[in-house]
Amino acid sequence: MNNWEYSESIESEKIVNIEKKYGNFIDGKFVTPKSKQYIDTISPSTEKILSSISIGNQQDVDYAVASAKEGLKKWSKTNPSERAKYLFKLARLIQERSREFAVLESLDGGKPIKESRDFDLPQVAQNFFYYAGWADKLDIAWGGEEYKPYGVVGQIIPWNFPLLMLSWKVAPALATGNTVVLKPAETTPLTALLFAELCEEVGLPDGVFNLVTGDGSTGSHLVNHKDIKKIAFTGSTGVGKYIQKSLAGRDVGLTLELGGKAANIVYSDAALDEAVEGVVNGIFFNQGHVCCAGSRLLVQEDIEEKFIKKLEKRMQTLNVGNPLDKNTDVGAINSKDQLDKIEKLVNEGVADGGDLFQIECELPKNGFWFKPSLFTSVQANYKIATEEIFGPVLTTLTFRTPEEAVEIANNTEYGLSAGIWTEKGSKILWTADRLEAGVIWANTFNKFDPASPFGGYKESGFGREGGRHGLLSYLKVSS
């Protein structure tokens, strides 16, 4: 058998201009942080320092919120059609500089360039285009019900899809007449900082969009600020619970998009080769750093052996390596802390009795890497079957009947997403109707559209982002 190997096809870094040090973006310009504190942001694929970012303190957050309050006075009086024009301009600039954004996202976050280039950036631009279209139609969106913006909105975004999560939050917030104070994750702030440059370029009024970088302490200052009227958070369930407790008793809106442990259900009548592709995409996309990842494979017992053989064969074709190589399928783990968590849970899975399959590949010497992994012979109470690993690790469970599949799928504290693979439409509808998940895909996985709402149940959070429903996250009933 011939051993066909791809030649390297490295995307150039020259298109990206990264400053040695960044401050915050407040009142329409970059400013020196009042904290005078900085941390390094590194490339997880090389451990090379990319830049230094500020750690915002209470004074920095106060300044940003005050700027947003002042900006709200003008933004709230801006004609909705004019607000739409700003969003449209931002969408066009994102398209024009998409290659630059994609390279920066892969450098800072470790995801393969073909994912940041072909998925993240098109989705980001589409979100701004979509909500630009809604900005002047809010009065007809909900019939006779009248709504108004919250005012100053605090937004905290995660490290797995930095720019995409920014677009999910910033675009609808601005379209509905709010002003924003954004805090990106400390490990992946660079594309948000580049987006701030676009806001300056399009002439967005001062104070409408503000950005304060920092760690968890910065986020805490933002959540607990007395002048914040709404918090939108995407991240871990633990932090989400902390935020909810912090806001208890306050008249502050809240949207939470948290963790997941999605079941990808493969029935015996499914198109198996197609299902294999969907399962691989569902868990190894973005190194498994996806809240809605199909991290639990539920396969019908009579096809388990056949399906696992096909799956292992397909996994072995995955290319692990340099995120800027266009041939790479699985990039770097986002941070050392995340890699340690993945390794700990996988070791516990082996100790519990799970059978571990990992692909044969040579990992780079520098950076944070983990081989795509598959567990079989797993019991439903194993940690690897209940806890969110947030890495390229798939856990397999089996079922005999559709009823058992639904019971196993719902046996989790999470309820964000699920997948169903079968040739029978009636079985899809029967199963979907019984699954406790906010988003359910049938014979596909990880398909997104700006017009479609996304969100979860149970400990996966509440509220919706995307679509017309995403507007409601930034509007409240007029009193």
Catalytic residue among 11, 115, 186, 257: 257
Burial of 370 (0-12, 13-18, 19+ CB in 10 A): buried
CB–CB of 234/257 below 8 Å?
yes
CA–CA dist 262, 415 (Å, integer): 7
CA–CA dist 390, 369 (Å, integer): 13
Cα atoms found within 13 Å of the Cα of residue 355, Cβ hemisphere only: 6
Tokens of 237: 């369930």
Specify whether 291 is catalytic: yes
Tokens of 42: 């590194």
281-320 in b/e burial notation, b at 16+ Cβ within 10 A? bbbbbbbbbbbbbbbbbbbbeebbeebbebbeebbeebbb
Q: Where are the beta strands (DSSP E) in 78-188?
A: 147-149, 152-156, 179-183
DSSP letter at 7 equals P
C-alpha pair distances (Å), 228 with each of 19, 54, 115, 177, 471: 30, 21, 34, 15, 18
Among all chains, which residue has been given the structure tokens 């990842």?
A: 293
Q: Is 191 helix (H, G, I), strand (E, B) or coil?
A: helix
Neighbouring CB atoms inside 10 A of 479's CB total: 5
Q: How far is CA 273 from the centre of its chain?
A: 27
Catalytic residue among 105, 186, 199, 291: 291
DSSP string, 8-71: P-BPPSTT----SEE-EEETTEEE--TT--EEEEEETTTTEEEEEEE---HHHHHHHHHHHHHH
CA–CA dist 265, 269 (Å, integer): 11
Contact residues for 5 (Cβ-Cβ < 8 A; gap 6+): none
Specify whether 292 is catalytic: no
Active site residue ranges: 257, 291
